Amino acid sequence: MESRTLDACGVRGSLAAVVLMALAAGFSARAGDDAKGGEAPPALKPHLLAQRGDARFRHSGNVTSLVPLPDGKRALSTSRDGWARLWDLETGKELRRYGGGGKSLWGLVLLPGGTSFLTSGDDKQVKEWDLETGKLLRAYSGPEKDLFRCAASPDASLIVSAGDEGTVFVWAAGKPEPLHKLAGHSETVYGVAFSPDGKTAASGGKKNQLRLWDAKAGKELRELKGHEEDVHTVVFDAQGDRLLSASGDKSVRCWKVADGTQEWSFTTEESVYTLAWSPDGKSIAVSVSDGSVRILDAATGKEGARIGLAGTPWPAVYGAGGAELLAGICNTLCRYEAAGGKRLFPPPGDEGHLDSIDEIWPLEAGTVLTVEGKRVVRWKGDAPPELALKMEEAPSELCISPDGRQGVELSYGPELKLYDMTTLKLEETVKKEDLGSGEAVRWTTAGLRVLVSSNIERGEDTVEQLEVWSGKLERKLAVLEGDFDDVDVSLISGEGAYVAAVLDGDLLRVWDTASGKLALAAKLPHQEEDAYVRLAYLDGTGTLLAAVEDRLMAWRRPRPRGVPDAAEVKRLEKLLESEEYQERLEGVNGLVALGQGVLPFLTPPEKATDMEVRSRLKQVREQLGFCRAPVEPVGKGENDGLGKALVLPGQVSMLCAHPGGRHFVLLAEKDGRDALWWGEVADEGPRLLQQIEAPGTEPSTRIAFSPDGKFLYVATCDTRYAVFEVK
C-alpha cells in the first residue's frame, strides 16, 4: 500500500490517491430536517479574513534554475510550477512572470546583452523571452520528449538542449528547426554547457555518460570516463580549459578539455546536484543533497567551507558579485552570505515553510499547525511561524486529537508514534510487525482506532482482510466482511462506528464496525482508467459525497418508506423473464424504483433457474447497493442508484465537508487552472453556490475547517494559507 497522510479534510498521497472524509456514526436525517418548519437554513458563505505566510521569493513548485542578472539587483528563476519569474533581490518582490504554468521548466540561460533569456522544460521546446516585457520572442522545436537544461554559445549563434530522448539538439539562432541532432547518449541527458569560445559543447546524463562535441559541425569529440553514476551537471570555467561535472556517485570531477584527462576530484557523503563558479573563478559552489553548499578551491578541489542551509538545495549560484549565495530550496529562493553562511532570507526567526503545505490542522482559536515533509510548523496569532517539530521522516499518516493535545503518526508495520502536541515531543512508539500494514488511524469519540490490512490465505488465493484495532493496538475490535484483491484507501469514521474504503479504483464500501458487516456498496462510474475519486461526509445530515472525475453525487438515509406491494414486486420480477427487451428493462427499472424495501421480496439470484434472470436480479441488487443499512441517492438522475450527478467545471482534486452538514468546498479545474468552489447539498442534489476568490494566483493544496466550522483554512502551493470566516 502506498504511503498516505490524513489531514483535516482528506488523505495525502500520489495522484491516484483517494481522499475520504470521516463518516459519522450512522446515516442520519435528510438535509433540512432539523430546520424549523422543514425548511433548509440559509446558505453559508466564506469571506476572506487574512492571508498568512510570506509571498517573497516563492514559487508554487520546486525551484529548478537560478540566474542573477548583471545589475546585481535582480535574479531570474524557473520552477516545476511552469513559470519563470523575475525577482527584486532586495525586497523579494516578484517583478514579472513568464510562461503559462503547468509544464515544469528546468533550463534557464540569460543571453548576451541581458535583454532576453531562454527556458526549456516539459513543453518539449526551448523558448526565448523578452526580459522587460515578458513577451515570447520565439520557440525552438523538434524534440518529442521532455527537455532538461539548455545552453547558448557566447555569441548566441547556437543553442543546445538536453532531454529525455538521449539526444542533444542544436539550433542556429532564430531557426525553429534543429540544425543537428547529436546522438551518442543511450538514455536521458541532464546537463549541457558551451565553452566560452563557442566551439565546444559538453553533455552529461544517465549511465555515467559525459561527452564533448563540436556543436557547429555536429560531431562528437570524445567521451570522458570516470563517473560511476548519472552525471547531473556540466559547466566550463571562464577560460574554457577545464570542465566540471557533478554526479550521483557523490563526486565532482575537474577535466582538462584539451585531452579529456581528469585534473582532480572531490567526493561528498551525498549526491551532488549543481555547480557554480564564483565571479573571480577561484571558488566553486557545490550543492549537495544533505542540505549544504560546499565551497571548493577551484585549483585543487579541496573543501574550504561548508554552509548548512534550511533544506536541500537544487540550484545554488553566486550573486551580488560573489558576496552572496542564492539557493533554490524546494519552492523558495533563499539568500545567504557567501562568507560565513548567515541566512538573509527567510529572515532569522521566521521558520515557515519552504515547500508546499502537506497538511493544515486548525487547533484552538488563533493557532494552526501546518506540515511540510518532516517539518511541523506552528502559527500562533500574528507571531512569525516557528518550527515546532522535525520528524525523522515524512509521516505516512498523521492524526491529531479533537482537543489538539495528542497526535499519532501511523506507518506500515504497523507502527504508531504518539506525540504530545502541546510540547510536540515524541512520547511513545508502538510497533507490531505481525499485524500487517497500517491503513488508517483516527481519534473517535470512542477513543483511538487503527485500521489494519493483512494478507490471508483463502484456498489457493491470497486476499486482503481489514481489521479494526483499539488504541495502541491492544485489542482487535472487528474483522470486516469480505475478501479483496486491492484496498486503495480507507478511513475510520469520526464516531468509530463505520469504516469506509475504495477498492480497485471505483468500488465504494462502508462497514459497520460493531458487527463487521457491509453497510453500503456502490460502484462509482469511471469514465477513464485510473481517474480520481474523492469522497467526503457531511456529519450533520449524514450525507456521503463522491466526486468522480468531473461529477459529484450524494447519498443519504431516506425517510421511512412504505413496504412495497408484494404483488407489484412479483409482476415486475416476472417481466425479467420476458423475451422483449423493453419489458425486461421495465422490470429492472421498476424494481429499482421501488427502492431498498424491495430487497426482502426479491428471489435470491442463486435460486433463479434462468441464467439471464439471475443476471438481471444481480443487476437490480447492484444498482440498489446491496445495502443492509438503506441509503438512497440524493436527487433523480439518469443512472439509477447513483442519483443526480452535478457536472463540475473540471476534474476534482480535493473535496472537503463543512461540519454543519449541508455545505462543502472542492477544488476543480476552470479554464485549465484549479479553482475553489463552495457548494451545498439540497434535496434535489448537490449544487455549487459560488467560486471562492482566494488571494494570490497559486493553486490550493490543502483545505480544512475549524472544528466548529466557523473558519475555512486554504493552504497554497507557495507556502501560505488563507483564512475565511464562514457565515
pLDDT tens digits, 672-693: 677 889 999 988 889 999 998 8
- pLDDT at position 185: 92
The b/e string for 208-236 (b: 16+ C-beta within 10 A; e otherwise) is bbbbbbebbeeeebeebebbeebbbbbbb
| Cα–Cα nearest to 557, from 537, 543, 576, 572 | 543
Confidence at 630, pLDDT banded by 50, 70, 90: low
User: What stretches of 53-207 adopt beta strand conformation (E)?
Assistant: 63-68, 74-79, 84-88, 94-98, 105-110, 116-121, 126-130, 136-140, 147-152, 158-163, 167-172, 180-183, 189-194, 200-205
CATH code where residue 588 lies: 1.25.10
| Cα–Cα nearest to 549, from 12, 16, 7 | 16
Is the pLDDT confidence value at 29 over 50?
no
Cβ atoms of residues 267 and 284 within 8 Å:
no
Does some domain include residue 286? no
Q: What is the DSSP letter of 651?
A: -
What grid cell was written down for 439? 491503513
146 or 100, which is more confident?
Answer: 146
Does some domain include residue 596? yes
Q: Give the 3-state secondary structure of 225-287.
A: CCCCCCEEEEEECCCCCEEEEEECCCEEEEEECCCCCEEEEEECCCCEEEEEECCCCCEEEEE
Cβ atoms of residues 251 and 245 within 8 Å:
no
Does some domain include residue 245? no
Residue count (the chain): 727
- pLDDT at position 542: 72
Is the pLDDT confidence value at 306 over 60?
yes
Is the pLDDT confidence value at 560 over 50?
no
Q: Span 260-285, mean pLDDT? A: 93
Does some domain include residue 431? no
Is the pLDDT confidence value at 11 over 70?
no
Is the pLDDT confidence value at 394 over 90?
no
- Grid cell 539587483 is found at 73
Write the DSSP string, 425-444. EEEEEEEEEEEEEEEEEEEE
Cβ atoms of residues 680 and 42 within 8 Å:
no
Please state which of the ranges 58-72, 278-292, 369-383, 685-699 shows the lowest mean pLDDT. 685-699
Burial category of 62 from C-beta neighbours within 10 Å (exposed 0-12, middle 13-18, buried 19 and up): buried
Q: What is the DSSP letter of 320?
A: G
Please state which of the ranges 87-96, 165-174, 273-282, 700-709 shows the lowest mean pLDDT. 700-709
Residue 416: strand pairing partners: 410, 430
Give the range with max mean pLDDT: 131-135, 471-475, 657-661.
Answer: 131-135
Is the pLDDT confidence value at 629 over 50?
no
Does some domain include residue 362? no
- pLDDT at position 71: 92
Kindly report the pTM of this predicted structure. 0.76
Does some domain include residue 384? no
Does some domain include residue 598? yes
| Cα–Cα nearest to 254, from 185, 198, 718, 262 | 262
Residue-number span of the structural domain to which 572 is assigned: 566-628
Does some domain include residue 608? yes
Is the pLDDT confidence value at 587 over 70?
yes
**For 395-449, how does the pLDDT look when each residue is reduced to its tens digit (9 = 90+)?**
767 788 877 788 888 887 788 989 887 777 889 999 887 788 888 888 887 789 9
Q: 194: helix, coil or strand?
A: strand
Total structural domains in the chain?
Answer: 1
| Cα–Cα nearest to 478, from 437, 513, 432 | 513
Distance, in Å, from the CA atom of 68 to the CA atom of 293, rounded to the nearest integer, reads: 17
Cβ atoms of residues 191 and 149 within 8 Å:
yes
Q: 620: helix, coil or strand?
A: helix
